């Protein structure tokens, strides 16, 4: 007869495995699942807990961002699911209701042996202008660059199920360069009145082409935008969006990404405020304006489907082409790159430099561990506040410091400094603000060991001039999430994104103000976040057993007929389960079990 043993292992600690997650058992084509999401662990040491990152493999530019009529946000992205560097480019896909809690979906668009799916955009064809959707008003069309060894052309694909699966248009390509070009890419399509408008990059000519269409299939040249702001060595990932102006009506913004050739090296994103009449974009000036003064914010995209009278939602790739293929998350955790925090954006004309795009984090809603801060002081003065937060399991922290009553004194010696540090290794990331001189704000990842010490392009410090507001106030907000820090100055007038990879977990925060004039008011509060990935995180459990007799091994959720018979040998198997639980059922012949049937399970 047979005797059944059931063992349940519940994960209470983070996985320390350095191997990549095992593949899904779904049907594969060249190692890529075709009808199910790719699994990921999402509890690794450097894995952000309130940002989006891919389950495994390499991710770069956000693509096709849109919000559907049910209020679900769709994020597509450049994705190589089979390696930890760029190449074999697919469109990954994830969805969210709040832009913090993400659910991975199956890959949306697939590379082939001789072509790759490069960046692009998505629209909802409400009026069936394409003819693809005679029976629905929510048909989704993807417009993207098909990259081959000889040229780059613009293709389209359509979806009947809201953007989860796509059918390639038989008449592709819908737009090609004449003569053929290998540097013609990244189409962004919007709706303007009764017309579709595409902006697409002639990357190495520093030209953004504007095209119009009535059906998404046939495109007519309209105008070009060229040679403004920063040039770098090529232009990529254009984006055109209408957004509100603080205290006034809406204006247009053209976003262009540069890589390589950014002032601090590698990649960066710039933007041009201006006016658009349906065919021609005119910038207010030729000034260079960047979306982020750090080094880890690139190829930002706006979500299609938000009216131009409302604040637009912006998300970017939080890395840099100078080192994105070498960051240590790949070798130790099997994934590379995350997206930035989602931001609400509008235009404002409140500084001497003229128009600025103001970016602030979307409301955090229910992310807080508690509605009460971990620490707060509303009358800090010239003093400090410190917080030890090892009990915040996510290790994701939000802090805010508001200072008022600042005199207009360029000779002020006042300073603000903050530090996130590790109690284990004493590494830290830090930042600060000088209230005198040119009002410089700075960030540093200099005191982080490992990758930053060996990679020459991993610039360790960043700064920006941030003049004191005319009302004598300064506001600093920051979000740290394991391996990424984002700061927002004066409600988003300036912002920065900085990645880092410490050897020890950062678990302490301290903020200090010093040298401020009498009468200056300082308030500080610090909150902890819950992980938005906890319910989806996968536990890696290993079963090791040695059987002297005959045994049958029954993996979870399988049937007895599929069990594996072993005799006098070792058995080792890995199981990935969700969430945090793995069940191993073992059926042994009772007589031989009594002789010797030893079972050991452990978290790997």
CA 73 from centre of chain = 14
User: Residue 556: helix, strand or coil by DSSP?
Assistant: coil
Asked whether 445 and 365 are in contact (CB, 8 A), the reply is: no
d(CA 240, CA 244): 14
Query: What one-character DSSP code corresponds to residue 22?
Result: P
Which residue(s) pair with 581 in the sheet?
10
Rg (CA), the chain: 26
CA-to-CA separations, 70 to 95, 96, 162, 217, 305, in angstroms, rounded: 12, 11, 10, 27, 11
247 is written with which tokens? 């205290």
Which positions ≥6 away from 483 have C-beta within 8 Å? Answer: 46, 47, 48, 329, 338, 499, 500, 501, 502
State yes or no: is 236 an active-site residue: yes
d(CA 138, CA 393): 40
∠ CA 524-365-375, nearest 5°, is 25
Active site residue 331: no
430 touches 442 (CB < 8 A): no
Find the catalytic residue in 44, 61, 125, 490: 61
- CB-CB neighbours of 331 under 10 Å: 11
The DSSP secondary-structure symbol of 329 reads H
Determine contact, residues 491/358, Cβ cutoff 8 Å. Answer: yes
Alpha-carbon distances of 194 from 127, 144, 197, rounded to whole Å: 10, 21, 10
- Which of 44, 236, 427, 486 is catalytic? The answer is 236
3-state SS, residue 220: strand
| ω into 543 cis (within 30 of 0) | no
Distances in whole angstroms, Cα of residue 296 to Cα of each of 94, 172, 377, 513: 21, 35, 31, 27
Smallest CA-to-CA distance from 532 within 39, 9, 51 is with 51
Q: Write the DSSP symbol of residue 467.
A: P
- Please name the helix (run of DSSP H) or strand (run of DSSP E) that holds residue 331, with its range, or none: helix 329-333
Strands of 259-297 (E only): list them. 268-276, 281-283, 289-290
DSSP class of residue 109 equals B
Q: Secondary structure of 485-526 in the HEC alphabet?
A: EEEEECCCCEEEEEECCCCCCCCEEEEEEECCCCCCEEEEEE
The residues that are catalytic are 61, 236
């Amino acid at each position: 007869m047979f005797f059944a043993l059931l063992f349940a292992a519940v994960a209470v600690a983070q996985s320390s495995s350095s191997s990549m997650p095992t593949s899904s058992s779904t049907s594969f084509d060249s190692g890529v699942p075709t009808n199910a999401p790719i699994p990921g662990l999402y509890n690794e040491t450097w894995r952000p807990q309130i940002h989006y990152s891919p389950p495994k493999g390499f991710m770069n530019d956000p693509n096709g961002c849109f919000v559907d009529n049910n209020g679900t946000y769709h994020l597509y992205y450049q994705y190589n699911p089979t390696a930890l560097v760029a190449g074999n480019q697919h469109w990954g896909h994830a969805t969210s209701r709040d832009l913090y809690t993400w659910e991975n979906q199956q890959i949306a668009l697939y590379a082939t042996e001789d072509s790759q799916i490069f960046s692009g955009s998505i629209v909802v064809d409400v009026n069936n202008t394409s003819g693809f959707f005679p029976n629905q008003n929510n048909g989704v069309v993807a417009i993207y660059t098909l990259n081959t060894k000889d040229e780059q052309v613009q293709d389209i694909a359509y979806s009947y199920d809201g953007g989860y699966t796509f059918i390639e248009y038989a008449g592709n390509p819908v737009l090609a360069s004449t003569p053929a070009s290998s540097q013609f890419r990244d189409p962004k399509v919007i709706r303007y009145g009764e017309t579709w408008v595409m902006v697409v990059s002639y990357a190495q000519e520093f030209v953004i082409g504007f095209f119009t269409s009535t059906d998404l299939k046939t495109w007519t040249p309209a105008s070009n935008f060229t040679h403004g702001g920063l040039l770098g060595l090529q232009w990529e990932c254009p984006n055109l969006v209408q957004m509100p102006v603080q205290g006034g009506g809406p204006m247009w913004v053209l976003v262009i990404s540069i890589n390589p050739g950014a002032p601090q090296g590698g990649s960066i994103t710039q933007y041009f405020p201006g006016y658009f009449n349906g065919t021609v974009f005119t910038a207010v000036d030729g000034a260079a304006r960047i979306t982020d003064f750090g080094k880890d914010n690139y190829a930002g995209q706006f979500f299609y489907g938000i009216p131009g009278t409302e604040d637009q939602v912006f998300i970017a790739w939080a890395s840099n082409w100078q080192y994105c293929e070498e960051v240590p998350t790949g070798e130790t955790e099997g994934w590379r790159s995350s997206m930035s925090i989602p931001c609400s954006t509008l235009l404002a004309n409140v500084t001497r430099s003229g128009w600025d795009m103001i970016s602030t984090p979307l409301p955090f809603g229910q992310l807080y561990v508690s509605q009460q801060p971990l620490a707060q002081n509303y009358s800090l003065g010239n003093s400090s506040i410190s917080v030890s937060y090892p009990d915040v399991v996510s290790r994701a922290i939000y802090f805010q410091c508001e200072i008022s009553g600042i005199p207009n004194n360029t000779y002020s010696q006042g300073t603000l400094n903050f530090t996130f540090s590790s109690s284990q290794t004493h590494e830290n990331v830090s930042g600060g603000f000088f209230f005198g001189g040119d009002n410089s704000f700075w960030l540093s990842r200099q005191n982080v060991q490992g990758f930053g010490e060996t990679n020459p392009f991993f610039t360790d410090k960043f700064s920006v001039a941030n003049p004191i507001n005319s009302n004598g106030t300064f506001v600093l907000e920051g979000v740290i999430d394991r391996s990424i820090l984002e700061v927002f100055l004066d409600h988003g007038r300036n912002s920065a994104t900085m990645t880092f990879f410490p050897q020890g977990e950062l678990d302490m925060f301290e903020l200090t103000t010093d040298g401020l004039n009498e009468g200056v008011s300082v308030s500080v509060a610090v909150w902890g976040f819950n992980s938005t990935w906890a319910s989806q995180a996968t536990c890696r459990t290993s079963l090791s057993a040695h059987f002297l007799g005959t045994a049958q091994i029954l993996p979870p959720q399988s049937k007895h007929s599929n069990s594996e018979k072993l005799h006098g040998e070792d058995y080792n198997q890995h199981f990935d389960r969700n969430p945090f639980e793995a069940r191993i059922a073992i059926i042994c012949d009772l007589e031989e079990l009594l002789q010797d049937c030893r079972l050991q399970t452990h978290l790997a």
